[in-house]
Amino acid sequence: MEILAFGVQDDERPLIERAFAGEHEVRCVDVFLNGDTAAIARGYEAVSTSVNADLGGPVLQTLAAGGTQFVAQRSTGFNNIDLDVAERLALTVARVSSYSPYSVAEFAWTLAMAVNRRVVRAANRTRDFDFRLEGLMGRDLRGRTVGVIGTGRIGEAFTRIAHGFGMNLLGWDLAENSVCAGLGMRYVEREELFREADVVSLHVPLLPSTEHLVDARALGLMKDDAILVNSSRGGLVDTRALVDVLRAGRLLGVGLDVYEAEAGLFFYDKSLDVVTDDVLARLMTFPNVVVTSHQAYYTEDAVTEIVDTTVRNVRDYVAGRHSENVLVPARPPR
């Protein structure tokens, strides 16, 4: 079977080609799957998509009309997929239900530390041979309080690091994680977590129930000198409300690896374009905000695991097997 893999980064290509070698033919393209590019999948029974693919109804219809029967998404999140339409079209859809939680957890702390210790500002200064310390004072994390929103595998890994820093641990989730509790985490209501935490980090999926979980009210509860980190999904944060809070001079800083309107922006070179997203443009003007391009997952270890899982998903599809990665039930065996 020949597979078309959309949105393949240069670093990722050899990993994908090596993983499928001798088993299936794979064609890697760097364009991302959306309404404009879906037509190039005509004739491919299986496609593999990246985290920012558009798998809404119209795109799925184009894929199905072109003969595609299987979609293997190379990510854990699936808020970009219209599963109801996929089921109506008899498309089998699978994802990578889990991969290295350390990649995201470590990067979340990278953002928190970069904000706390003013690393970006310091690096920019020293490149101009400005070695002053004014405006670069940070804070010790030991003894301060971290609030972890979502204590699954990534949240647990993030908590382990916080425990290593010697921080007080607050958590919020629908179910308590016994490992986190064993590290001394105290589970509280969201409101108390927002009020008490010096660092708030988000590790929950984007669902209708979690969209804008960090809204104006939640931001209003946070300490004026708190740090907010989001390495999960952009839609968890009401960015307009966040801009208002930053404009008012509140929050020590913000580290964002995701943005709620990142589709069509992140993973592209927009350096020569006019920025039409006024909210993002305003957000980037704040000196205490660090924005990265959805790269928290992007380690050799995590990407290798994602690719290997995608290969297994293809094998399961060919064999007609069902696994925990299948979002829309697999078709019967051939």
- Write out the catalytic residue numbers: 233, 262
Distance CA 311, CA 80 (A): 21
Q: In what order do the strands lie in the sheet with 92-94?
A: 25-28, 2-5, 46-49, 70-73, 92-94, 326-328
* DSSP conformation letters of 243-262: HHHHHTT-SSEEEES--TT-
Distance CA 107, CA 306 (A): 17
For 117-234, where are the alpha helices, taking DSSP H only? 119-127, 153-165, 178-182, 190-196, 216-221
Which residue's entry shows tokens 């399961």? 316
- Neighbouring C-alpha atoms within 13 Å toward the C-beta of 141: 20
Return the SS3 of 13.
helix
Distance CA 308, CA 302 (A): 10
